[in-house]
Amino acid sequence: MYIVTGGAGFIGSALIKGLNDLGISEIIVVDSLQSGKKWLNLRGKLFRDFIHKEKFFASSILKEKITAIIHLGAC
């Protein structure tokens, strides 16, 4: 499983597309969608789940096997 922080942004969503092109869809997207239309960047992308950035560390996802965390989030 891959975790992409900032995954709903332009660069993050392009990275997710690249992973999808490699046949990878076990992706957790971590971001905030509170403002704007950033969610539109995720259309057509394959990923397992979306987690709001403020709930990420409290989620049980960190107990699973993680292949890589790709941090593109601003904070």
Dist CA 54 CA 40 (whole Å): 20
pLDDT digits 0-9 by tens, 9-19 = 999 999 999 99
Global confidence as pTM: 0.89
Considering all CA atoms of the chain, what is the largest pairwise distance in Å, rounded to the nearest integer?
Answer: 33
Tell whether the model's pLDDT for residue 75 goes beyond 80. no
HSE-up (13 A, CA, CB side) for residue 53: 15
